Amino acid sequence: MKHKLLGIFVFIFLAHCINLYIEKKPEPERKTYEIKDEITGKTHIFYKKPNLKKNVMFYCLNDEEHKVIWIDWHPNQTPEYTYQVDSYDNYSQKTWWEQHYGYRIAP
């Protein structure tokens, strides 16, 4: 009786392990966006696409740090907008006025 019960538990455990192995689904690929900095010409890769005038705390995959992205819109021109990327540390040291209305980003 004990051996039959042990055999059933082992069978259930092995079936469970095989089921977990078979049903493992691949992780979906995350879409990335490449943004070229207007000032330095360097390309940064982000998971999210910026769509406002100022985007704070985007994680850059190249530099592995948080960045602030400023977007300059140029209506009816090509390109329609350009990007300026700055480090979050530099952004956090600016005054309230500079954080909300812009500042010159040194290369």
Q: pLDDT tens for residues 9-52?
A: 888 988 888 887 776 677 788 888 888 888 888 898 888 887 77
| Percent of the chain with pLDDT strictly greater than 70 | 93
d(CA 83, CA 69): 7
Query: What is this structure's pTM?
Result: 0.62
CA angle 27, 68, 36 (to 5 degrees): 75
CB 105 within 8 A of CB 39: yes
